[in-house]
A and B are shown apart, each in its own frame.
Chain A
């Protein structure tokens, strides 16, 4: 396992897309969940992946990261095969994807983010612990370091996952539904952290389902419903016509109304 240092000095090649997907098709059984998607995410931007339930948002992310196997497609990161760029990518899975009854403390989970740095046998030193604590502080969870993870609320679990990703010190952050089922305070804390990351020049891509907050939280939008519908700056893509294609019918109009009102 590599001991390569992961740090901010790697934010170079600003022109290269941190995540570029071409011809990606994934299917569960006989129906494609994601069909022939081509998309290149822009570096240094905050992009939301948006679409209705079952549109393949999470599937796209998981297939891009090699967590599930696609039927076809190529994925590159910063112009290289994704496998070579793992050190620069941090992934925040859906909260419900793990068993929170696992015997671990909050700090143990955050330390998992240091794995690429520590490797299998690297000594855990004071500075590592301090870094993990600092990441917890950034999500407002420093007081919970020794808490058993099963005792956390949904919002707190989500923050712990975000802190683990922060500990990875990556350039590209991929988040799967980070705002699903969390309280308002957590939502605010998370978006602030993401905006900070973005201000430091890091790329943030998040699966999101709340149309009302999309324009406020993100710079760019990727609309998907099985196929790619549109990708671009928020103002250009967040249009009734596009949302109609993605959502079909009344749902989009209703959601759009609430977005306009808010």
Chain B
């Protein structure tokens, strides 16, 4: 049992958790800045990014595609901002214009390349392939101490793990500046904070997290993790620090429960094949959000305002 678990389930679980946390952390700030849907936009433009990455280099390999995806994400962010400012268009509509057009371009290029006999896996980009990220050298718990065996870990694990640690470190270092500029941008500017750069940096971090995560788990989870855990967390508490803590808990819970339900659920019901882990993780995060929306202690706006008598 221990060996099976370490070999087959441990890597996907850890990867799922890392991806969920890496997306949920910036998601908290995007949510409060009313930019929750930037995650949606970013994950849609990942497809054209990987297609272009492939067309430019001509090889189906991870790095060119990830670089392509990251470039596409940044391009999308810049385009959205440019179109919003130049055309004086509301942000939601600007996002809608940019990500659908880029996605359409991606699909078109994909069909063209498929016509020339190359096969790129669209579904992989959408759903990821969490279940296949197994660790053949993981002979048991002891393998975690075995340098030889560790080298056989799926490469997605160190990648998304590193990105998660980077996101955690950045969030911790930039915490005060992020909170102040998210709450009161004008005041932040009078403190001398570079609010424009902070906003752009946040979106860039989100883009990096999204690209690293989609590679391992597909873009559905990415959108869900940007929004659902932070949104559920907002309904649990009225303090920023606690909100972020709750969102991390919910992200981990979604990853673990989603993976287990997708992998073992059908077995319990007597079927052989597993279900989509990515889809199930998104579903679980939605269920958590649903529960928080129904029962969360801070689900309503404001609360009873205390009138001026009590001074």
Contact = CB atoms under 8 A, between A and B. Distances in A.
Interface size class, chain B: 35 or more
Contact of A153 (B187, B191, B301, B308): B308
Interface stretch (A13-21, A105-113, A216-224, A231-239): A105-113
B302 A101 contact: yes
B302 A120 contact: no
Nearest to B88: A29
Interface stretch (A47-55, A144-152, A193-201): A144-152
B186 A97 contact: yes
Interface stretch (B107-115, B155-163, B238-246): B238-246
A153 B149 CA distance: 61
A103 B238 CA distance: 4
A93 interface: yes
Interface stretch (A31-39, A83-91, A127-135, A243-251): A83-91
Interface string A45-84: 0000000000000000010011100000000000000010
B239 A108 contact: yes
A16 B32 CA distance: 41
B187 A93 contact: yes
A105 B298 CA distance: 14
A94 to B, nearest CB: 9
B306 A156 contact: yes
Nearest to A151: B303
Contacts of B301: 101, 150
A151 B302 contact: yes
Nearest to B239: A103
Contact of A86 (B192, B242, B308): B192
B197 interface: no
Which interface residue of B189, B238, B301 has the most chain A CB atoms within 10 A?
A: B238
A60 B177 CA distance: 26
A36 B190 CA distance: 22
Contacts of A148: 238, 303
A19 to B, nearest CB: 12
Interface string B2-44: 0000000000000000000000000000001000000000000
Contacts of A23: none
A185 B311 contact: yes
Contacts of B32: 99, 102-103
A93 B186 contact: yes
Contacts of B239: 103-105, 108
Given A93-B187, A103-B237, A120-B174, A186 B302 contact: no
B176 A118 contact: yes
Given A102-B182, A103-B238, A143-B310, 10 more contacts: A67-B186, A67-B189, A91-B187, A98-B184, A99-B32, A108-B240, A120-B175, A148-B238, A153-B308, A189-B311
Interface of A: 62, 65-67, 83, 86, 89-91, 93, 97-105, 108-109, 112, 115-116, 118, 120-121, 140-141, 143-144, 147-148, 150-153, 155-156, 164, 183, 185-186, 189
